[in-house]
Structure 1
């Protein structure tokens, strides 16, 4: 080994390099001693940093130049793309609702850094559900509305796309019940980079400013050990809460399991009956002390959710980011997962979407779609690969599923092959064609939803037919066309297996044609990201 070796932009002497068996944990040292210069180059067009808030935009934010790591230890769950199903063999599709959005922002981080994301980082449903769609507000006894629309598929000739849209009832901040919040903050050495703990502190400051007198906050930090740094404190005492947040500093290893246990213990002490009881875990997910086994951590959180306390994960950083852990423990904890790559995203998650982030209007929401063999030959579900359920799970109220927050909307897209059209699968040589009653040919499918009202044990059923009628893609509303553009983008980033002749140019064009309304410039940003992805994809060819 040479007398000096450059690691993360920091010159280390002699054999000290050998000690860095996990370079990601030491990235903060380089950041602290040799701060990275501020640059906007990595983020493309200025519009990327326009303020996502109810007031129009402000000046462009400078980007955070992240320290380059020698070893990338980021972890993603491997999910195979949903297969095509023959209706004659398997007419029923069942899955859990998902309102996570982390895959979109994590992918944005990769593209802004000039890299294509790993295919396992792409989850189509989180891309689609990142955006707001103008679905009708519920006007019945149910806490959400359900709408469907069927259009010609741009991916496969003579195929159709069925879009299912769910809109949860909205609640203003004033309508939210009292909140008991526990901020669980990773302050280990790996969190010292500019896109980690400093950004966590910005996020918590934004959330603190939204607190009301009836809300209370507890703050727990963890590194080599866990520490209660703020007892339950009323939202009226914002200065006291902010002082604690501002004093947070990074250093030490990461012992997350005991900290999660302490967070639940403190949340139980301050429990608010009929209120919001939630832990917000802010970390890069790099647990390396204590229980580090993924299934053990997930099982512990799943058991703790029975106490009525949910767990939301806020992910940060690069290089050692454990996305698999962040997404899965949020799901197990009846919370939601967001990846925060800049201050504007923090505003979106904890300011503009505060009610949906914190207040649940429906729990254990499951969708089951039964396709009509008289009208549908084949189908496939876009995304939701790690949310699939068994058919018998739908009616089993003991089986956990996703929750919907106030104001959330959720979108699912199926691609179907109508009877009589050539699909992905060859016709069976020996299986006799299905003979059906003409009266049953008026429906493509029947959509069933099951959900529980908060803190209830028995589920409620909501059903709706999908009639045999469709539009051309050009006739569909802007929301449907934009959702299809985002689904196409996700599929293209995973290799484009089901995109047919639809390439980057067609994806960008469809997004441009359906980009309005766009009050927070989110769709405009998406178009720029698709252009970056096109450029990076071309470089790889």
Structure 2
């Protein structure tokens, strides 16, 4: 049925019930039936024996009963067919998906015919449909008088009475209207696959518009069972009570990619999926490089007014890692540990994973070595150590991967470490790259057991990096545990652009570590700072005593990597002070650390920064110390660098979508304005994409 035909249906006049027309219709139908029945009786029966009268008691009863029923059945069945055709047409059309309109028209007529088959034959039904298409209300006559229109309307009311009384099943029309065909479901599946594939290659600057899956007939949107740890935000701390903050650096970026995909899908962001430090560190910042590899990174610090609180300031710490030149890159011994379980059977999982690894292999050197270990219900070696010069062999092994079975991830990790250790290169980079949706359901009894396994294996000198894929059963909490305890980093791959960023553009920082177990400790000066709050890093907090303990694991920094940490500080005497002084106890005097070379005249220092790191092949750490002075302070955020302003905008956005209370009345527009003026060169358009995400979050929240 076409749109113009539906518009004609809307113009059909709704008639009022007329008793005269009803009587006339019933009388005509009964006479026609009696005439036909009388002719049949004359041909097949003789007069009843023993009676000359036309009446026979039993025969009279039969005829009265069945005559009444059959007379009404013919009229009601005919009218019901017309009513159903009109009622079902819009319902079926509404349920029809955009790619199946033509077939749904045919299906609609066929199903309507099946429902009313007992009341009207095929020829009669065809006449009804034809008459409806041309806008006629009377489906069984060529006449068009008002009386005939009323007759049809009366019959429609009669059919409604029969439905309400239970003679005709009430649910039949509804079932036929919404029941999708097998072909419809097949097209739905093909359509979903096409949409997901398009999402996988969506450009950075585009937020793809995806038809909501609930619009398809019979389609049930899958339940989101993604798992996240959800630690509380860092509290405000009083300098007089806790003057020291110690953290492990973080170079993971998974949170930003996951949040981006969630927003682009038009869904609400899960609070646990937002780790503000990963949102900030997703972007590359042009902090000053260290001059030599002997000092692998250089910190840069700034103090400036807080955009969301005029009574506080932000302390911005930026670290830029030394960038290894191409000729000096060590040989790589890589093991691709690939999840091929049944949960990976999705276009945004295993197929995307294969393409991502192909891109990575194409950018490795010929003397690098690649192995492939797979795990599902069992563990297997899909590719023994193979030089990258034999790319076709590596690509063939990737292409042959198929998903199915449970997820014996723990055994897969053990096998991957075994293979990496067997091909260990003392002078090179030895790394396992685990690609999974995080659904480990066979093997270790708990995540803690798996964590212990990773902690033991990292002593072998083999690093572990994590690539997350997909949604629905994505176990972000476990993947963070594996990355943080495996001397590696975690990224989330939601499209090929992200694979290009992580595995090609940032391959050096992903593969080649320049420092491991990097820790930051900052001591605030109580004479200038009353309170402080660390933005993000909730899962990277260390104890004060962990800073000098070289046995305590911390984050690693790769070649050319940047790390940013931001503290919100409350100056002494500020109205923004949140923690009152004690009435009966005087604040304890904060003594400077014995190992710091702070002079007694420290009135110019906001804080004192200390950093510890180990070179990749060393077990002892090196200490770096830098005071944070008033010389690093800016009176306005507008006077800071574009890198500082943009990082601040991202920090604000991360807190905003987490619904944190500390950012006060800061709006999405404020964040957009701050980011718009600090995009800088933006070679790949990622900062512009961020601004679009903020706009999208604003629209979704409104």
1:39-85 CA distance string (max 9 Å, x none)? 49997x986357xxxxxxxxx99989999753322110121100000
Task: State the Cα distance separating 1:429 from its structure 2 match.
Answer: 4.4
Decide whether the 8 Å contact of 2:339 with 2:435 is kept in 1.
yes
Match of 1:175 in 2: 328
1:402 and 1:517 map into 2 onto residues whose CA distance is: 29
- The within-5 A match list for 1:110-509 is 110-140=262-292, 141-430=294-583, 431-432=585-586, 439-468=601-630, 469-509=633-673
2:374 and 2:614 map into 1 onto residues whose CA distance is: 33
Bigger CA radius of gyration: 2
SS of equivalent residue, structure 2 residue 603: helix
Task: State the Cα distance separating 1:208 from its structure 2 match.
Answer: 0.7
Task: State the Cα distance separating 1:474 from its structure 2 match.
Answer: 1.1
After superposition, the Cα gap between the structure-2 partners of 1:414 and 1:295, relative to the gap in structure 1 and judged at 3 Å, is same
Structure scoring higher RCO (CA < 8 A, sep ≥ 6) equals 1
Q: Which stretch of the first structure deviates more once superposed, 196-205 or 166-175?
A: 166-175
1:431-482 CA distance string (max 9 Å, x none)? 4478899932100000000000112111000011111233311111111010
Decide whether the 8 Å contact of 2:407 with 2:441 is kept in 1.
yes
After superposition, the Cα gap between the structure-2 partners of 1:333 and 1:37, relative to the gap in structure 1 and judged at 3 Å, is closer
Whether 1:101 aligns to 2:278 is no
Decide whether the 8 Å contact of 1:374 with 1:440 is kept in 2.
no
Task: State the Cα distance separating 1:175 from its structure 2 match.
Answer: 2.4
Match of 1:6 in 2: none
1:472-511 CA distance string (max 9 Å, x none)? 1111111101000000000001103111221111011111
TM-score, normalising length: structure 2: 0.68
2:189 and 2:667 map into 1 onto residues whose CA distance is: 45
Task: State the Cα distance separating 1:248 from its structure 2 match.
Answer: 1.2
Task: State the Cα distance separating 1:313 from its structure 2 match.
Answer: 0.4
Decide whether the 8 Å contact of 2:321 with 2:560 is kept in 1.
yes
1:181 and 1:326 map into 2 onto residues whose CA distance is: 19
Whether 1:88 aligns to 2:213 is no
2:220 and 2:467 map into 1 onto residues whose CA distance is: 22
Point out where structure 2 has 5 or more consecutive residues left out of the alignment.
Answer: 1-184, 214-218, 591-598
1:101-160 CA distance string (max 9 Å, x none)? 000001011001101211011100000000011101102531101110111111212211
Matched length: 501
1:47 and 1:350 map into 2 onto residues whose CA distance is: 16
Decide whether the 8 Å contact of 2:240 with 2:587 is kept in 1.
no
Point out where structure 1 has 5 or more consecutive residues left out of the alignment.
Answer: 1-28, 51-59
2:555 and 2:235 map into 1 onto residues whose CA distance is: 22
Task: State the Cα distance separating 1:33 from its structure 2 match.
Answer: 6.3
Decide whether the 8 Å contact of 1:280 with 1:312 is kept in 2.
yes
Decide whether the 8 Å contact of 1:159 with 1:415 is kept in 2.
yes
1:64 and 1:293 map into 2 onto residues whose CA distance is: 39
1:102 and 1:371 map into 2 onto residues whose CA distance is: 31
1:301-351 CA distance string (max 9 Å, x none)? 111000000100000000110011111101110000000000000000010
After superposition, the Cα gap between the structure-2 partners of 1:231 and 1:35, relative to the gap in structure 1 and judged at 3 Å, is farther
Q: CA RMSD in A?
A: 2.6
After superposition, the Cα gap between the structure-2 partners of 1:435 and 1:256, relative to the gap in structure 1 and judged at 3 Å, is closer
Decide whether the 8 Å contact of 1:49 with 1:344 is kept in 2.
no
Task: State the Cα distance separating 1:424 from its structure 2 match.
Answer: 4.0
Decide whether the 8 Å contact of 1:362 with 1:403 is kept in 2.
yes
After superposition, the Cα gap between the structure-2 partners of 1:284 and 1:46, relative to the gap in structure 1 and judged at 3 Å, is closer
Decide whether the 8 Å contact of 1:448 with 1:461 is kept in 2.
yes
TM-score, normalising length: structure 1: 0.88
* Counterpart among 183, 188, 194 of residue 38 in structure 1: 194
Give the structure with the higher percent helix.
2
SS of equivalent residue, structure 2 residue 386: strand
SS of equivalent residue, structure 2 residue 449: helix
Match of 2:680 in 1: 516
1:322 and 1:113 map into 2 onto residues whose CA distance is: 19
After superposition, the Cα gap between the structure-2 partners of 1:351 and 1:68, relative to the gap in structure 1 and judged at 3 Å, is farther
1:168-205 CA distance string (max 9 Å, x none)? 00124442100000001111111110000011001100
After superposition, the Cα gap between the structure-2 partners of 1:283 and 1:440, relative to the gap in structure 1 and judged at 3 Å, is same
1:417 and 1:88 map into 2 onto residues whose CA distance is: 12
Decide whether the 8 Å contact of 1:492 with 1:499 is kept in 2.
yes
SS of equivalent residue, structure 2 residue 424: coil
SS of equivalent residue, structure 2 residue 403: coil
1:438 and 1:452 map into 2 onto residues whose CA distance is: 31
Task: State the Cα distance separating 1:255 from its structure 2 match.
Answer: 0.8
Decide whether the 8 Å contact of 2:205 with 2:686 is kept in 1.
no
2:329 and 2:208 map into 1 onto residues whose CA distance is: 31
2:192 and 2:399 map into 1 onto residues whose CA distance is: 21
2:445 and 2:378 map into 1 onto residues whose CA distance is: 14
2:367 and 2:448 map into 1 onto residues whose CA distance is: 36
SS of equivalent residue, structure 1 residue 190: helix
1:268-288 CA distance string (max 9 Å, x none)? 000001210000000001011
Task: State the Cα distance separating 1:295 from its structure 2 match.
Answer: 1.0
After superposition, the Cα gap between the structure-2 partners of 1:269 and 1:526, relative to the gap in structure 1 and judged at 3 Å, is same
